[in-house]
C-alpha cells in the first residue's frame, strides 16, 4: 500500500517561478504571469504574485517565461497495448479485441517481450505531461509485477491492475476458470503488498462483463473488501457490447447494474473508475452518481473504434465525477494534452449532430477534467491551490510566436491543440522532481 506520509517526507521544499496556469473550478482558469508557486514537503502552498517573506529562504527554480501547469491525470490506459497503438483502427470494439488486442496481450506471457514493451511505455509516460495514471496490464502476474517495478522506479504515481478474464477470449490469453483467476489475483496482491511500493498501487481490474463469469466477479468483490482496493473496468462503450451484456446478465437492469449486483460498483470503501460510458442513459448515470463512480471519458478511443460520443456535458450537469483517459490503444495517442483537445472536439460534434441542448466543452472545462477532475480520484490532486499534492509540469513554448497568444490561457490552449507533450522541460510528482 502507498504510504503517503513517507512520500511527503521524501519530497522537497522549493519555489517555482514561471507563467502559472491551473483550474480552481470547471469554468475557472487562474493564470499568474511571472508567479511564484511554493512547494513545502510535497504540497502546494499556493501561487503568489510576490514571494511572501516566509518562503524567501527556500531554493528558487527560475522558469520565467515558461508555462507551468498541474500534471495531467490519465484515468484510463492499457500499458500492453502501447506497442500496437496506431494500428488496427478499422474495427469496432468486439472485433478489434479479438483480432488485434487479445493476440497482442497474449505475448506478455513472455517476460522478455513484456520488458521491452513496458520500458517503452513507461519512457513515453515519463516524457509527456502526465504525472499520474490508472493502468490496465494483462492477466499475467510476472509481467504485471514487472510493469509495477518500472513505474515505481519512474517516480510517476500510478494504479496498476492485473486483468481478470475467464471467458470469451482465446485459450492462449484467457484464464482457465474463476478459481485460477482469483488465485492468480491473490498471488499478485500478496506480492504487490510485500514489495511496499510507495507510488504504485494495485487496482482490481475485471476487464469487462463479457470477459468475467459471475463467479469471478463475486470472488473479486470478496478480494476488494479484504484488501480494500479500488476497482476499474469498462462500461457501456459500444452498442454490440451492451446487447451482449444484456444477454449474459439478464438479472441486471442495465450494464452498470451487473457490476453493482456483483459487488463491484463504487460505494463506501470501493473507489471505482468506469471507462467510456458512451451509452450511459440518465438511469445508469444516476446509479453511477449515487455510487460515486468516476467516469473515465476517452474521446480518442471512442472516435477510433467508432464507439460514439459520451454525454459528458450531461454528466457534468448531473454533478458526476469525470476525468479523462487516453485508452491506449483504442486511442492511438498516450498524450493527455491530445485527450484534452479531443474531448473538446467530440463535444462540439455531439452538440452539432446529437443534442443542441448540450453546449460543447470549453478548453478550460476539458483541462479541468484532465487535472482536478481525474486528480480527485487520489484526493487533493490536479490544482495548485494550497494543500494540493505538488504535481507540476514546465512546458516550453519559446519558439511559438508569443504575439499571437498574448494571454496565458491562449498559450495553454495552443499547447493543448499542438500537443506539446514533447515540450516538457521539468516534471514534479507529489513534490519530487522526476528524471525525464
The footprint of ligand GUN (CB under 6 A) covers 78, 93, 97, 101, 207-208, 234, 237, 301, 327, 330
365 binds Fe ion (CB under 5 A): no
Q: Smaller CB distance to ligand GUN: residue 78 or 140? A: 78
Q: Smaller CB distance to ligand GUN: residue 91 or 286? A: 91
Q: Smaller CB distance to ligand GUN: residue 245 or 340? A: 245
Shortest reach from residue 138's CB to ligand GUN, in Å: 10
Q: Choosing among Fe ion, ligand GUN, none, which partner's interface includes residue 74 (Cβ < 5 to 8 Å by kind)?
A: none
Residues 393-412 that bind Fe ion (CB under 5 A): none
Per CB under 5 A, the list member of 19, 74, 241, 327 interacting with Fe ion is 327
Q: Smaller CB distance to Fe ion: residue 105 or 327? A: 327
Shortest reach from residue 342's CB to ligand GUN, in Å: 14
Q: Is the peptide bond prior to 329 cis by the omega test (within 30 degrees of 0)?
A: yes
Which stretches within 176-322 are classed as H helix? 178-195, 214-227, 239-248, 255-261, 282-290, 299-304, 312-317
Residue number of the CB atom closest to ligand GUN: 330
CB 136 within 8 A of CB 163: yes
Q: Quick one: DSSP state of residue 361? A: P
CB 319 within 8 A of CB 290: no
Shortest reach from residue 356's CB to ligand GUN, in Å: 28
Q: Choosing among ligand GUN, Fe ion, none, which partner's interface includes residue 350 (Cβ < 5 to 8 Å by kind)?
A: none
Strand ordering across the sheet containing 28-40: 43-48, 28-40, 14-25, 60-70, 392-395, 424-429, 432-433
Indicate the length of the chain as a whole number: 436
Q: Choosing among Fe ion, ligand GUN, none, which partner's interface includes residue 93 (Cβ < 5 to 8 Å by kind)?
A: ligand GUN
Q: Smaller CB distance to ligand GUN: residue 70 or 210? A: 210
Task: Single out the residue of 386, 387, 346, 351 nearest to residue 369, CA to CA.
Answer: 346
CB 378 within 8 A of CB 55: no
CB 278 within 8 A of CB 304: no
Q: Choosing among ligand GUN, Fe ion, none, which partner's interface includes residue 207 (Cβ < 5 to 8 Å by kind)?
A: ligand GUN
Q: Smaller CB distance to ligand GUN: residue 208 or 332? A: 208
Shortest reach from residue 328's CB to Fe ion, in Å: 8
* Stretch of residues binding Fe ion (CB under 5 A), selected from 4-12, 17-25, 175-183, 274-282: 274-282
Q: Choosing among Fe ion, ligand GUN, none, which partner's interface includes residue 208 (Cβ < 5 to 8 Å by kind)?
A: ligand GUN
Residue 281 has a CB neighbour count (10 Å cut-off) of 12
Q: Smaller CB distance to ligand GUN: residue 208 or 388? A: 208
Distance, in Å, from the CA atom of 65 to the CA atom of 148, rounded to the nearest integer, reads: 36
CB 22 within 8 A of CB 360: no
Largest separation between any pair of C-alpha atoms in the chain: 66
Shortest reach from residue 331's CB to ligand GUN, in Å: 8
Q: Smaller CB distance to ligand GUN: residue 97 or 159? A: 97
Shortest reach from residue 259's CB to ligand GUN, in Å: 13
* Stretch of residues binding Fe ion (CB under 5 A), selected from 199-207, 286-294, 320-328, 373-381: 320-328
Strand partners, 19: 67
CA torsion sign, 123 to 127 to 130 to 131?
positive
E strand segments, 79-154? 130-136
Q: Choosing among ligand GUN, Fe ion, none, which partner's interface includes residue 101 (Cβ < 5 to 8 Å by kind)?
A: ligand GUN
Q: Smaller CB distance to ligand GUN: residue 78 or 345? A: 78
Phi, psi of 166, rounded to the nearest 5 degrees: -125, 15
Grid cell of 348 as nine digits? 462540439
Gyration radius from the chain CA atoms:
21
Q: Which residue has the cell 497482442?
A: 104
Instruction: Give the footprint of Fe ion on this chain (CB under 5 A).
Output: 275, 327
Amino acid at each position: 500500500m502507498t504510504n503517503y506520509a513517507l512520500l511527503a517526507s521524501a519530497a522537497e521544499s522549493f519555489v517555482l517561478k514561471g507563467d502559472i496556469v491551473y483550474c480552481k473550478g470547471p469554468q475557472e482558469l487562474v493564470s499568474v504571469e511571472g508567479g511564484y508557486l511554493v512547494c513545502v514537503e510535497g504540497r502546494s502552498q499556493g501561487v503568489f504574485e510576490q514571494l511572501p517573506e516566509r518562503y524567501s529562504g527556500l531554493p528558487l527554480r527560475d522558469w520565467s517565461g515558461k508555462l507551468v501547469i498541474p500534471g495531467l491525470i490519465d484515468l484510463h490506459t492499457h500499458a500492453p497495448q502501447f506497442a500496437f497503438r496506431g494500428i488496427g483502427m478499422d474495427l469496432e470494439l468486439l472485433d478489434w479485441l479479438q483480432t488485434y488486442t487479445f493476440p497482442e496481450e497474449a505475448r506478455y506471457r513472455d517476460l522478455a517481450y513484456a520488458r521491452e514493451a513496458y520500458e517503452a511505455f513507461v519512457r513515453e509516460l515519463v516524457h509527456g505531461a502526465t504525472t499520474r495514471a490508472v493502468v490496465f496490464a494483462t492477466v499475467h502476474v510476472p509481467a504485471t509485477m514487472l510493469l509495477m517495478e518500472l513505474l515505481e522506479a519512474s517516480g510517476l504515481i500510478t494504479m496498476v491492475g492485473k486483468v481478470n478474464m475467464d471467458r470469451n477470449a482465446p485459450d492462449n490469453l484467457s484464464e482457465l476458470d474463476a478459481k485460477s483467476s482469483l488465485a492468480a489475483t491473490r498471488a499478485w496482491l500478496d506480492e504487490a503488498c510485500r514489495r511496499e511500493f510507495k507510488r504504485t498501487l494495485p487496482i482490481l481490474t475485471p476487464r469487462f462483463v463479457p470477459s468475467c463469469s459471475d463467479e469471478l466477479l463475486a470472488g473479486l468483490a470478496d478480494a476488494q473488501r479484504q484488501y480494500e482496493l479500488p476497482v476499474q473496468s469498462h462500461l457501456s462503450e459500444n452498442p454490440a457490447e451492451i446487447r451482449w451484456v444484456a444477454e449474459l446478465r439478464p438479472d441486471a437492469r442495465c450494464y452498470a447494474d451487473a457490476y453493482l449486483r456483483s459487488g463491484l460498483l463504487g460505494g463506501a470503501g470501493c473507489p471505482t473508475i468506469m471507462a467510456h460510458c458512451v451509452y450511459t442513459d440518465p438511469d445508469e448515470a444516476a446509479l453511477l452518481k449515487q455510487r460515486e463512480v468516476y467516469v473515465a471519458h476517452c474521446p480518442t478511443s471512442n472516435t477510433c473504434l467508432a464507439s460514439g460520443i459520451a454525454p459528458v456535458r450531461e454528466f457534468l450537469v448531473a454533478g458526476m465525477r469525470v476525468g479523462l483517459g487516453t485508452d491506449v490503444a483504442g486511442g492511438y495517442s498516450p498524450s493527455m494534452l491530445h485527450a484534452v483537445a479531443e474531448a473538446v472536439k467530440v463535444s462540439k460534434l455531439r452538440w452539432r449532430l446529437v443534442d443542441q441542448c448540450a453546449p460543447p466543452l470549453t478548453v478550460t472545462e476539458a483541462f479541468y477534467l484532465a487535472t482536478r477532475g481525474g486528480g480527485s480520484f487520489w484526493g487533493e490532486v490536479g490544482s495548485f491551490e494550497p494543500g494540493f499534492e505538488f504535481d507540476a509540469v514546465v512546458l516550453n513554448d519559446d519558439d511559438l510566436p508569443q504575439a499571437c497568444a498574448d494571454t496565458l490561457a491562449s498559450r495553454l490552449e495552443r499547447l493543448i491543440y499542438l500537443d506539446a507533450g514533447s515540450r516538457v522541460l521539468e516534471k514534479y510528482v507529489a513534490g519530487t522532481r522526476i528524471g525525464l
